[in-house]
Structures are given as C-alpha cells and as structure tokens.
Amino acid sequence: MGNIIAIFLWASLFLLTGYPDFYVAPAMAMEKLGWAGSVHNLKDDLGWYFQGYKARGGDTKKMDLGKVR
C-alpha cells in the first residue's frame, strides 16, 4: 500500500510541477560496464544506410503523406 501512495504522490507532484529537472550521465554506467563508447558515428553510417534505402527503391517510391483515418 505504501508503494501505491508514493506513486500517487509522485504523480501528483509531476502534474503540479511538470517533468522533473534531471539528466542522465552515462559515465558511471560506462565505467562499471567497461564500455568505451560507440565505435560508430552517424556521419560514417549514413552512406551505407542511404545506399540500402535506395536499393529498396525508397528514393523513387511514391509516398502518401495523407492522414490515415
């Protein structure tokens, strides 16, 4: 029952004040897991990703951007 009350109070506080002001810093998790970070970057990966998109006909496919009902 105590957990339910705590969740209710947190939810009430959230509704009154907005989203909590915090951020996530991955440094501790990276250190504990021994992960040096990503070995890929978006700039290098976009080339092969776009080639795959074109190979599937994505650059010539007719797209319907209308609203789905």
pLDDT of residue 1: 54
Phi/psi of residue 59, nearest 5 degrees: -80, -15
What is the 8-class DSSP label of residue 11? H
Place of tokens 């951007």: 65
| Per-residue model confidence as pLDDT tens digits over 26-61 | 788 788 888 887 788 888 899 999 999 999 998 898
pLDDT bucket at 64, cuts 50 / 70 / 90: confident
pLDDT bucket at 21, cuts 50 / 70 / 90: low
Place of tokens 């002001």: 21
1 CB-contact burial (10 Å; exposed 0-12 / middle 13-18 / buried 19+): exposed
Place of tokens 């907005």: 18
pTM, full prediction: 0.40
